[in-house]
Each structure stands twice: as structure tokens, then as C-alpha cells.
Amino acid sequence: MRALTGFWLTTPHPELAIRPGETETIPLTLRNSNLPPQRASLEVSGIPDGWKWSVKGGNREIGAVIVPPNAAEEVKLELTPAPAASGASVPIDVKARYGNETADLPLIVKLSDTSSAGLELKPELPGLRGTASSTFSFKVELTNKGAEENLINLAANVPEGFQTRFKRGYGSEEITGLPIEAGASEDVTLEVTPPRSAPAGRYPVLVEAAGGGANASAELSIEVTGQPEVALTGPQERLSGEAVAGEEASFPFTLANSGSAPATNIELSATPPSGWKAEVEPKRIDMLAPNATSQVNVKITPSERAIAGDYMVPVRASGGSLSESAQFRVTVNTSTMWGAAGLGVIAAAVLVLGMAVMRYGRR
């Protein structure tokens, strides 16, 4: 299948209702698929006299946008009809000129009576910041400005792989909508959970409400910060090894950072059983980049009196909020010298017993 190639200017709702004198924010998305970076100049036509409008990006008025290959840029068109505006509908045209081409987006704005239904979404905080393992909770006030009670349906537009759910107030039950009386407001909570593999960056979240012939939307954003994730593996990716009582044994460990941010100031240590010795080299790693590994040598000397068997030696890596521990099993074998000495003692005892039998057995 051939990859889709082109440049588009889109919006979720090309037909919408606005009350005269009130400002409506219309989200616009410029998407570049498999083309070189495109500089798109934005033009808006069809705005009636007395209306106010502006195109904004990052809360600033803009006239052009550069869209990298296989990426999308979000901007918004703010429209404020004149307080005395009238008419059934107003056609407005938004164009994005890139190179010798033009992406055209026709809009239809219907002027709603001040007594007709209306919705308003007011987020407490428009942006939140956290790691990829965080759950981002937005508190949003939803107001029914209509003259009748309506069932308001809720939806959230998030990047692929992100999970969302709505709750009423600070409750625990998930909802998809709720009834709101005329002129009343309700608090809803939108929870957004990014995938654990989400790279660091800013991600747009569009929350939408619709019901009773009216709709409203609010633009939110979450900033995912990088997070280190370290893991310790033993020799040949095993967490076991053998040692001889009283003799030093060396075990090569690997410390890996599979996270999206560097791991810094990592302290390394090992906790052996009583009477044993353990040493880790190096004892400290200043920085381990994402997707990087570092070799760590763990030297363990069992006690000379250690009985043959299995013993656990925890090996730890910690620094800041990081804490990783690997339980390393050491199988202790007794020294061959002590085995030979034991055989010598047994042989001597047998020899003495034999000589005694030969000497006294003749009597």
C-alpha cells in the first residue's frame, strides 16, 4: 500500500453555532504527510464587518506556520461576531498557501439566538506536566446555558496510544455524559494516561461536549518529561553464580537504562551475608544515557566457614528517585584443599586401624 502524501488543513467541526458578542475558538490542524517541510501562510476571508477575529499559535497571533514532514501543527481561529450580528449562517473560508498549492477549509458559522441552548467548558488548568507513568487529571467546569435540562455527551481527542476517561467531580465511576439542568454547572474530571513508551514532549488534548443542539470544546495539553528506568542483570543475563568458601569470585553485571532520560548519580552497592566481603566497581556512575549500558563488576568473597549451599546477595543501584535491586544467588562450594585434608584424615585413620588389627589380632 502506497503511503498517503499531501498537505491538509482540517477542523473537527466545520459547521458551528456562535452567539453574537461571544468569542468562539475553532481548532485548526495543519498536517504534512511525506512532504518536505512546508511553510503555510494562513488567510481568512468572508468575515463580516464588525466581527473580530485572529489566528493564534501558542497564544500569539500568527500569519504562517512551518509543518515538518509527517507532523501536524495545531493553531486556532478566534471569532467574535458583532453583538448586533444577524443572519441564518455566515460562510467563512480559511486558506493555507504552501509552495504553489493551497489547502482550503470552508466553514459555516450559524448565529444562535441568545435564548437558545449553549454550552461552556472552563478548564481549571489548561496544561499539566509529568512523566510517562503519570495520570494527568484535568478538572473542567461544564455549564449548560440553555433554557432546558440536557444530557451532555463528553469526548476527548488525544494522540494515538493515549487512554482517557471522564469522571463526575472527583468520583470514581467512569462516565460518558451527564444531565445538567438549565443554567447549572457541573465539575467533571478528565484523566489522560500516556503510554509508558511516550517520548518526552508536549501533546495536545481536545475535550468536547455536545447536547441539546449545542457544543463546546476546550484545548488542553500535557507535557511528558523524560524518565530514566534502570535494570541490573547478572552474568550472561542470569542472577546466579558459584564461589568457593574463603576465595574471591568476580561476577560481571550490566546496568541498562531503558528510559527516556539520563540516569544520574547512580550509587552501586552489594549487601553480603555476615562474615562475607563484597565490593562493587565502580561504586558510582555519574550519568547513564537513555538506551545505554554500563558494565559493573561485583566481587564476592564468602566466609571461610561458609557451609556449602545457596546464599542471596542483594545488588542495588540507586540515585534520586531511582531504586533497582537484583537478588543474586551465590552457590558456595567448599575448598578442594579442605576436601583433600579430610580425605587425608580418613586415610590416616584407616591406616592406624589396620595396623592395630594386624598387631593385636595375632594375640
The neighbouring-strand residues paired with 180 are: 150
Q: Is 212 exposed, middle or buried (0-12, 13-18, 19+ CB in 10 A)?
A: buried
Q: Which of 101, 125, 117 is nearest to 205 (CA)?
A: 125
Backbone angles phi, psi at 325, to 5 degrees: -135, 135
Contact, 109 vs 81, CB < 8 A? Answer: yes
C-alpha cell recorded at residue 167: 469522571
Tell me whether residue 348 is in a domain. no
Q: Is 352 left (phi over 0), alpha (psi -120 to 50) or beta?
A: alpha
Q: Which of 161, 178, 186, 172 is nearest to 137 (CA)?
A: 172
Tell me whether residue 349 is in a domain. no
Place of cell 552489594: 270
DSSP string covering 290-312: TTEEEEEEEEEE--TTPPSEEEE
Tell me whether residue 356 is in a domain. no
Instruction: Encode the chain (363 residues) as per-residue pLDDT tens digits.
Output: 567 899 999 999 999 888 888 899 999 999 999 999 999 999 999 999 999 999 999 889 999 999 999 999 999 999 999 888 877 789 999 999 999 999 999 999 988 764 445 899 999 999 999 988 899 999 999 999 877 888 999 999 999 999 999 999 888 899 999 999 988 999 999 999 999 878 889 999 999 999 887 899 999 999 998 888 899 999 988 899 999 999 999 999 999 998 878 889 999 999 999 999 999 999 999 999 988 999 999 999 999 989 999 999 999 999 877 889 999 999 999 765 545 555 555 656 666 666 666 666 555
Q: Do residues 210 and 235 share a domain?
A: no
Residue type, 318: S
Distance, in Å, from the CA atom of 241 to the CA atom of 247, rounded to the nearest integer, reads 14
Helix (H) or strand (E) holding 242: strand 240-244
Question: Domain limits at 242?
Answer: 230-337
Q: Do residues 70 and 25 share a domain?
A: yes
Tell me whether residue 353 is in a domain. no
Q: Which of 158, 172, 149, 263 is nearest to 203 (CA)?
A: 158
Q: Do residues 270 and 315 share a domain?
A: yes
Q: Do residues 295 and 234 share a domain?
A: yes
Which CATH number covers residue 85? 2.60.40.10
Q: Do residues 71 and 5 share a domain?
A: yes
Q: Do residues 180 and 247 share a domain?
A: no
- Residue where one domain finishes, among candidates 192, 227, 262: 227
Distance, in Å, from the CA atom of 198 to the CA atom of 149, rounded to the nearest integer, reads 40
- Residue where one domain finishes, among candidates 203, 227, 251: 227
Contact, 191 vs 213, CB < 8 A? Answer: no
Distance, in Å, from the CA atom of 142 to the CA atom of 48, rounded to the nearest integer, reads 30
Contact, 328 vs 298, CB < 8 A? Answer: yes
Residue 189: Cβ within 10 Å count? 17
Tell me whether residue 345 is in a domain. no
Backbone angles phi, psi at 72, to 5 degrees: -135, 145
Tell me whether residue 325 is in a domain. yes
With a CB cutoff of 8 Å and minimum separation 6, the contacts of 333 are 242, 243, 244, 245, 308
Domain total of the chain:
3
Q: Do residues 217 and 286 share a domain?
A: no
- Residue where one domain finishes, among candidates 180, 203, 227: 227
Q: Do residues 152 and 110 share a domain?
A: no
What's residue 89's pLDDT?
86
Q: Do residues 195 and 133 share a domain?
A: yes
Contact, 216 vs 124, CB < 8 A? Answer: no
Q: Do residues 104 and 194 share a domain?
A: no
What is the reported pTM? 0.47
Q: Do residues 199 and 144 share a domain?
A: yes
Q: Do residues 154 and 199 share a domain?
A: yes
Tell me whether residue 351 is in a domain. no
What's residue 115's pLDDT?
47
Tell me whether residue 327 is in a domain. yes
